[in-house]
């Protein structure tokens, strides 16, 4: 079969695409650029696409439909960058991938520890030989009550890891998991907001939970609460977060994702003027750590992303059960 790959990266994905395409007998078409209306014609003759986190709007979906594409597989867990309504309208299937949850779980714990130990301030001071102590006293994780919002594979891995630190753990999810109950207590959001010293987000972004953490939610939380987000930026109302930081309702933040990051992350933009005022404001706080959507980025995860994107396309073409099928 034939699969066309957009945003093909030589420096990390190439070895895995070559390995798995050979193993599964797949003919690859390759474009190093993100898909656009201008390069959509390259996919003509290919019924299957593999993409990453680039915006696929209704117009682009229609263009791919015109050149004969039947399915879009995104090499990511999230799929909110694809216009799903347009895909349904044109009868195109969409799938995502799964990868080792340990990469994001590890990164989440790192951000938690960096936030509660005030590591940003410590590192900034050390760079200018300021070795003073006032203002950098941290906390210990075992003294925290932690709320984990979302108990899918990543959320469960985070809960498992947190259990080793001895902290009290609450969990929230529409679907409760029996394994989670060994380590955490399920509760409603209001209870979690009231009881928890730290909240960490592990949900897909959907219309129903966009801006889950908004001004009203922050008002229900403890003063000085710590917020960690390695899921999707749109889960947090950024302006409400900034206000909560300014009035010290939120005591520390670790963000690997922000709202409207398309076209920015994974590109060299150091010489560009970015129209991202909220990002500049967030980075200016001494108690906010912002990283560029890197939590997933390990050798194991990249291998899994490539392999499972190809497998999803193959399973669809053979009419077999596809565990990554969105619809």
Q: Which of 75, 160, 293, 316 is catalytic?
A: 293
Q: Which of 315, 321, 322 is nearest to 3 (CA)?
A: 315
Q: Which residues pair with 250 in a beta bridge?
A: 225
The most distant pair of C-alpha atoms in the chain lies apart, rounded to whole Å, by 64
Cβ partners under 8 Å of residue 185, min gap 6: 169, 170, 171
Q: Which of 13, 232, 259, 316 is catalytic?
A: 232
Alpha-helical segments (H) within 47-173: 58-66, 84-89, 102-116, 119-127, 153-163
Q: Which of 261, 283, 316, 318 is catalytic?
A: 261
261 is catalytic: yes
Cβ partners under 8 Å of residue 14, min gap 6: 8
CB neighbours (10 Å) of residue 185?
13
Q: State the Cα–Cα distance between residues 215 and 192, nearest whole angstrom.
A: 16
Cβ partners under 8 Å of residue 73, min gap 6: 48, 49, 50, 51, 94, 95, 96, 97, 309, 312, 313, 324
What is the helix, strand, coil percentage profile of the chain, to 5?
35, 15, 45
3-class DSSP state of 41? helix
Which residue, chain included where needed, has tokens 């006032």? 134
232 is catalytic: yes
38 is catalytic: no
Residues noted as catalytic: 232, 261, 293
């Amino acid at each position: 079969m034939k699969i066309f790959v957009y945003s093909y990266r030589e420096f990390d994905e190439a070895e895995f695409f070559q390995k798995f395409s050979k193993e599964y007998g797949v003919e690859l078409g390759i474009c190093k650029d993100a898909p656009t209306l201008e390069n959509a014609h390259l996919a003509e003759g290919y019924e299957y696409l593999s993409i990453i986190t680039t915006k696929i709007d209704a117009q682009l979906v229609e263009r791919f439909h015109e050149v004969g594409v039947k399915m879009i597989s995104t090499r990511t867990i999230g799929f909110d960058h694809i216009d799903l309504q347009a895909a349904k309208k044109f009868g195109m299937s969409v799938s995502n991938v799964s990868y080792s949850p340990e990469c994001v779980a590890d990164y989440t714990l790192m951000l938690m520890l960096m936030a509660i130990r005030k590591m940003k301030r410590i590192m900034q001071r050390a760079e200018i030989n300021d070795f003073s102590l006032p203002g950098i006293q941290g906390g210990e994780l075992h003294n925290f009550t932690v709320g984990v919002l979302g108990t899918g594979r990543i959320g469960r891995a985070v809960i498992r890891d947190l259990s080793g630190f001895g902290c009290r753990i609450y969990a929230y999810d529409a679907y409760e998991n029996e394994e989670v109950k060994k380590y955490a207590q399920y509760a409603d959001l209001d209870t979690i907001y009231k009881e928890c010293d730290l909240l960490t987000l592990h949900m897909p972004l959907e219309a129903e939970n966009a801006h889950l953490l908004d001004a009203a939610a922050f008002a229900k939380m403890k003063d000085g609460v710590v917020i960690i987000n390695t899921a999707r930026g749109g889960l947090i109302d950024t302006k409400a977060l900034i206000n909560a930081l300014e009035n010290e309702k939120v005591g520390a933040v670790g963000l690997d994702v922000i709202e409207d990051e398309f076209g920015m992350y994974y590109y060299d933009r150091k010489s560009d003027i970015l129209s991202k005022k909220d990002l500049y404001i967030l980075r200016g706080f001494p108690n906010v750590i912002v990283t560029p959507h890197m939590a997933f980025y390990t050798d194991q995860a990249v291998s899994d992303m490539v392999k499972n994107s190809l497998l999803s396309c193959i399973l669809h073409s053979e009419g077999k059960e596809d565990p990554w099928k969105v619809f």
